Structure 1
Amino acid sequence: MSTPAAPRARGGQAPRRRVPVRWIAAALAVALLTAVGLSTQYRSAESVAAAGPRRFDPAAYGARMYDDRVVPAVERKAVELPVLVKAMHTGMEEAGKRYGVRHGTGPYTFAVKGTGRAGPVTSGLMHVTVPGLPPDTRVSLQVGSVINGTALRDVVGFINFGQFLNQVEYADAATALNDQMREKLLGNLDVARLEGKEISFVGAFSFLTPSVVTITPVSIKEIS
């Protein structure tokens, strides 16, 4: 007796074999892992650090900016101190706009120069008697081991907050310039020997009041 033929699907086509779902999922997983492996680049920790954003180096910034850009700018912008103080007593806002630099709503910062007699150094400040100033004007040069303020950064006009990642870097830039001044100017200066001598100076200060002028110097010279 002959074996009866298997029933054919409608339309005369043989029925399709169903592929188990788990086989399809496994194949897709293998394909995905292969694609990820081919597209992944394995990099050392050193190469990842080098490719990322550079960290701000205050010391390098100060060394790059101080001699080549900051000192020349302060010297170029410096106004005679008696002229500035007289202008401030006449009209502070007008004096600021004419001679100073201002960032946002902060105080005006001025580049100044002058001559006078060096006095004693107390608390890191050298007091200087400058002719042509009102009697109540107290002029001091920062000569101590700690240099405060941001006058050197602010007075030049071409250093601003937008050039830095955050407020910490902006503050570090000011400190780095102060450090450069302390190293390159004060490191070679015998300030105690200058007491009673006639000196010339160039520097910058941020305005507090016309009667208190505390200058961060970039130049202090004995007048022979």
Structure 2
Amino acid sequence: MTDVHPRSPSRAPAAPSRLARRRSRRRRAAVATAAGVALVAAMAAGTEVRSTEAAAQQAAAATFDPRAWAAENYPRQVEGITGSAVDLAQLLGEVAADPEAAGQRYGHKTGATSPYTYPVRTTGTAGAVQGTFVNLQVPGLPAGTIVRVQTGPAITGTAVRDATGTVEFGQFTNQVDYAAAGTALNDQVRSTVLDGLDPATLAGRQVEVVGAVSLLTPTSIAITPVQLDVAP
């Protein structure tokens, strides 16, 4: 007969030794540390670091006051325009002969595709009011040339801002502030030059004007005045 030996009872798994438990804790701590380092690195990669200058520019953008800026800078713009204003008839004659040469000599551009903006002066006889403009009959201009002077109440365009070449986009934080500066300068024109003026009373009177014009076309002149003298 074959002896049948009873099976030995199975043994329970041995409990981890103290050394094994220490090693396990160390592995878990190392994994947690690595995960923390990776998280910090990811946060740093997604964080925009701002220099002191950038922070100052951002603060300035948030507090830009176009009215205050215009009140400070408008007198300088007026001085620049009146000091370099070219006679309108002379300007249009030179534009007809060589527009680029005339532009470089008398005007300023805000961009490669922008028209030249000029400081000009002229004298003529006021005519009818058309909207926010009054027509001006100026002798000595090419036939078919229409000259108008902005009289408000709305003043449009950025000619006063652009005519001297001293106000540039780079001086502002963004396009919104740059545009707001031009609008605020127009507000200065309305309050300092046109305040109390009744355009309807100008018809038939001699008007001497110094101002700025963006020359989109030499046959249609729209002057934004910084000085306006009306004969009695």
Distance in 1, matches of 2:168 and 2:108, equals: 11
Question: Matched residues in 2 for 1:207 and 1:199: separation?
Answer: 21
Give the deviation of 1:149 after TM superposition: 0.5
Offset at residue 109 of structure 1 (A): 0.3
For residues 96 and 129 of structure 2, the distance between their equivalents in structure 1, rounded to whole angstroms, comes to 27
Encode CA deviations 1:165-213: one digit per residue, 9 max, x unaligned: 0000000000000001011111132222111101100000111111011
Please, which of 82, 100, 115 is the counterpart of residue 107 of structure 2? Answer: 100
Residue of structure 2 in register with 1:53 after alignment: 59
Alignment map for 1:1-224 (pairs within 5 Å): 53-54=59-60, 55-67=63-75, 69-105=76-112, 106-224=114-232
Shift of 1:103: 2.0
Which ranges of 4 or more aligned residues in structure 1 deviate by more than 4 Å?
none
Determine the structure 2 residue equivalent to 1:35.
none
Partner Cα separation in structure 2 for residue 179 and residue 115 of structure 1: 24
Counterpart AA for 2:102: A
**Residue 128 of structure 1: how far off its partner (Å):** 0.1
Q: What do the CA deviations read for 1:58-87 (whole angstroms, capped 9, x no partner)? A: 1101111112x0111110110000000111
Quote how far apart the aligned CAs of 1:144 are: 1.8
| Percent of aligned pairs with the same amino acid | 45
Report the TM-score, using the length of structure 1 for normalisation: 0.75
Gaps of 5+ in 2: 1-24, 26-57
The one-letter amino acid paired with 2:230 is: E
Q: Match of 1:8?
A: none
Letter in 2 for 1:95: A
After TM superposition, the score normalised by the length of structure 2 is 0.72
Count the aligned residue pairs: 176
Say which SS state the counterpart of residue 147 (structure 1) adopts: coil
